[in-house]
Amino acid sequence: MGSEKNELSRRAFLATATAAVPVSMVVSQGAQAASAPAKDRLVDVHHHFDEKNPKYIDDFLRISDRLNLTACMLTPFAHRKVVAEAARKYPTQIIPFGYVELDAPDVAQQVKELHDMGYRGLGELEFPKKPFTDRSYDPVYELANEYSWIVLFHTGIVLRQVFDKPEDITSSRMRPVHLEEIARRFPRLTVLGAHCGNPEYEWAAEVSRWNPNVFFDLSGSTLTKMRGRLNHFQDVFWWSGVGQDTATPNNDPSAFIKLVFGTDTELDRIEGVVSSYRALFDACDVPQSTRRMILGGTMSQFLKIV
Ligand SMILES: [Zn+2]
């Protein structure tokens, strides 16, 4: 949303200040996940198309080749054609996701057009004028549900774009608890929450625990902010190996299976985010098989990347 300048400042802010098929069915199809061919492919669910870089697609493909990285490329509507074309050429590297404004009067039409062009999901939905659960947004969710799409929502604290004018944006419309209602009302959606609800990690985790079609990424500032106390997340994702009420996809041994990999950063900083995820895994004793699912296995199944 907003101008290129705003987009850039938003990203810069997030880099320093912070950080979605009926999933259950798709997950159950991939019972042999840990040994799937795509196990070592990184899948970044949170990668914004860089509209300021005219060579961006080429630059992305170089990084993608080097890191064996697939990106859900979050694409402003104005750039939908170039990304749709690139995704057709490089289907295992670029997964086209459309960025739309929930409050735009023609948003449903935009969503239909994206679907006709081969888009696979929406995101990052953010800056809504009403809470994510407002019924006026139902036409978007109904279409996405009909398409069994993956939808990435911003959750948690959000940057301030302007400081000298009134601004109608608040984090309270993007709390992770809102994803619970969306996931339940639209069960064919895969709902991804960005930034693990920063700082409402506990709410994010609990919503993911009870809703098989909800996952969160840990992009943004969290892994930096929490770097000295990453084991805190063991208290948040606490239900590893306990009880029938807290089943994990494919009976994964770890509650951390409800995380997916997302970076929300520039191309040259993606590897740094991989390292931060690995630091979290080490601090929380996340099993090797679960690590592979978080970094790419789960999303490879949803997206059917081979
Ligand atoms: Zn965000």
118-164 confidence digits (pLDDT tens): 999 999 999 999 999 999 999 999 999 999 999 999 999 999 989 99
- Ligand 1 is an ion; its neighbours by CB within 5 Å are 154, 194
Token code pair at residue 228: 């000295």
Give the span between the Cα atoms of 230 and 228, in whole angstroms. 6
Q: Above 60 in pLDDT, residue 294?
A: yes
What's the 254 CA to ligand 1 centre distance in angstroms?
A: 25
28 three-state secondary structure: helix
- SS3 category, 215: strand
Q: Check whether 28 has a pLDDT greater than 80.
A: no
Kindly give the distance from the C-alpha atom of residue 192 to the centroid of ligand 1, in angstroms, as a whole number: 11
Output the pLDDT for position 39: 44
At residue 239's C-alpha, the angle toward residues 237 and 243, to 5°, is 165
Ligand 1 centre and the CA of 40: distance in Å?
26
85: left (phi over 0), alpha (psi -120 to 50) or beta: alpha
Question: CA 73 to CA 96: how far, in whole Å?
Answer: 5
Cα 243 to ligand 1 centre (Å): 33
User: 217 C-alpha vs ligand 1 centroid, how far in Å?
Assistant: 10
Structure tokens at 212: 């098989």
Task: Please give the average per-residue pLDDT across 27-38, as a whole number.
Answer: 41
Q: What is the pLDDT of residue 249?
A: 84
C-alpha 45 – ligand 1 centre gap (Å)? 11
Once rounded to an integer, what is the mean pLDDT over residues 277-299?
97
User: What stretch of H or E contains 41?
Assistant: none
Count of Cβ atoms closer than 10 Å to residue 263 Cβ: 28
**8 A C-beta contact, residue 178 and residue 191:** no
In 10 A of CB 125, how many CB atoms? Answer: 25
Cα 194 to ligand 1 centre (Å)? 6
Asked whether the beta carbons of 213 and 183 are under 8 A apart, the reply is yes
**C-alpha of residue 31 to centroid of ligand 1, in Å:** 31
DSSP code per residue over 99-134: E--TT-TTHHHHHHHHHHTT--EEEEE---SS-TT-
CA of 32 to the centre of ligand 1 (A): 32
Residues contacting residue 90 through CB under 8 Å, at least 6 positions apart: 61, 64
CA atoms of 171 and 107, how far apart (whole Å): 22
CA of 124 relative to ligand 1 center, distance in Å: 7
pTM of the model as a whole? 0.87
CA distance 223 to 95: 25
Q: Tell me the per-residue pLDDT of 176-228, one tens digit each, with 9 for 90 and over.
A: 999 999 999 999 999 999 999 999 999 999 999 999 999 999 999 999 999 99
87-101 pLDDT tens trace: 999 999 999 999 999
- Predicted confidence at residue 11, as pLDDT, reads 44
The CA 37 to ligand 1 mean position distance, Å, reads: 30
- Number of CB atoms found within 10 A of residue 132's CB: 22
State the distance from the centre of ligand 1 to the C-alpha of 155, rounded, in angstroms: 6
Instruction: Compute the distance between CA of residue 112 and CA of residue 100 in angstroms, rounded to an integer.
Output: 11
Measured in Å, residue 244 CA sits from the centre of ligand 1 at: 33
The whole-angstrom separation of Cα 61 and Cα 94 is 9
pLDDT for the residue numbered 20: 39
What mean pLDDT value characterizes the chain? Answer: 89
Give the pLDDT of residue 179.
Answer: 98
- Predicted local confidence at residue 37, as pLDDT: 45
- Among the residues of the chain, which ranges form H helices? 4-17, 23-29, 56-67, 80-89, 107-116, 138-146, 177-185, 201-210, 222-225, 232-236, 270-283, 288-292, 298-303
> What band does 36 get if pLDDT is binned at 50, 70 and 90?
very low
Type of residue numbered 97: F
For tokens 């959750």, what's the residue?
Answer: 155
pLDDT over 60 (residue 17): no
Q: What is the model's pLDDT at position 306?
A: 73
CA–centroid distance, residue 257 to ligand 1 (Å)? 21
Residues 6+ apart with CB under 8 A from 125: 99, 100, 102, 132, 151, 152, 153, 154
Dist. CA 46 → ligand 1 center (Å): 8
